[in-house]
Amino acid sequence: MVISSASESGTGRESPGAGQPWEVDRQWDSPNRNLAPLTTCIDAEGRLEVGGCRLSDLARSYGTPLYVLDEATLRSTCRAYREALEQFYPGPSLALYASKANSSLAITALVASEGLGLDAVSSGELLTALRGGMPAERIVLHGNNKSRQELALAAAEGVIVVIDNWHDLELLAELAPSLGKPVQLMLRFTPGIECHTHEYIRTGHLDSKFGFDPDQLEPVLQHLAGCGWARLTGLHAHIGSQIFELQPHRDLAAVMADALALACGLGHPVSDLNLGGGLGIRYVASDDPPTIQTWVRTVAEALATACQQRQLELPRLLCEPGRSLVATAGITLYELGSRKQIPGLRTYLSVDGGMSDNPRPITYQSHYTALLADRPQAEASDIVTLAGKHCESGDVLLKDLALPPSSSGDVLVVLATGAYNASMGSNYNRIPRPACVLVGGGEAELVQRRELPEDLLRYDLLPARLQPVT
């Protein structure tokens, strides 16, 4: 791999140039278009650093697999959304971090400090948000099957509850009398918009488990008009995830403006329109997602135009970036282990993690970019299939990966793993979950401890009749 000869000012380290296989269109203002974290560089010994920390040193200090989050990239993405909304939307606005992408106290605190809100989908994500310092008035609770406990917690804390179905309304009607105040609601409906993404992550089309169907919109709005315990202040729709197209978002803005006109006509004080998220990122060099600025401008201008055409006052524009906010900030470090060569067919190179720390390849057939931490510039002359350690033939992270010659013990870096890796992880084969460190300014701070095998026994109970005979 050829690296640009330009050095970062004052660091003495080389910065990868635009157009390289793992740093395409390097942008600070739209990190979703980069493959690696913004602070990625090559040190004087030719080894990779992120946030001023040498990656192979992090692997030795904290063990592998290891999640690494770059603070500068995460903050830059938060600011890109906030500033683009301020620039392109003439009304009030708020970006909500879709915390299902990666939920932790540290990420919550960082996102809150950048002025964003947060979207939670469970009591666990909600408690993480509240204890991480996210103000309750900047939190919304989603979910297609919320429990009584989740609804009670959200309502008591003053969190906006996104009603997804009649079941939500029935439970809230039972809970509301004990609250002594109206519950602030946002209504979710399916807009009937298709987009080209994986079928598992399409949520805007009619055949979806999420939201009220379009023909239910007026009946539920009429029902809520007679509920003294409810205060409907927002409408929500979301069309999917990892989307590169822009036209579906323009279509969504028009649908939402029609819904706003209907709600206002029925007497609801709707001031928020939440158009969801869905902007894609670059996982491999051939991916070409829009910039954050282009996505926000498209949504903002479409909504402003739709409202003007319907003579509606501009609502507060909400959006819910998740993957595009945190994915590029994260990488995963593995240690290479066994090798199996099948002559004329394939070479399997195994790592000390796999589907328990990154279930996306086996679930979505997702692709990633990977390289060696200490030899990123070496010629990638070997073609290998990167296999996980789990007892599952499908536990393959990357097929036909070009790597330099490698040995057991080398540290492998997989890029763009900040979203839906830790949050979708498991303890399959009773393998403990990895640790996570936040890096910046040459310092690494542990923000999630590594599980130990003993931790996996904490909730097991052994009946007396099954106790081992001693």
Instruction: Say if strands 411-415 and 330-342 run parallel, antiparallel, or are unpaired.
Output: antiparallel
Phi, psi (rounded to 5 degrees) for 139? -115, 140
Residue numbers annotated as active site: 391
- How would DSSP label each residue in 116-137? -EEEE-SHHHHHHHHHTT--GG
Q: Cβ distance 389 to 337 under 8 Å?
A: yes
Compute the chain's Rg from CA coordinates: 24
Q: What's the rounded Cα separation, in Å, for the pair 272 and 232?
A: 10
Among 284, 322, 240, smallest CA distance to 34 is for 284
Among 346, 358, 324, smallest CA distance to 64 is for 358
Q: What's the rounded Cα separation, in Å, for the pair 312 and 301?
A: 14
Instruction: Say if strands 48-50 and 53-54 run parallel, antiparallel, or are unpaired.
Output: antiparallel
CA angle 76, 82, 88 (to 5 degrees): 125
Q: Cβ distance 417 to 27 under 8 Å?
A: no
Q: Cβ distance 147 to 168 under 8 Å?
A: no
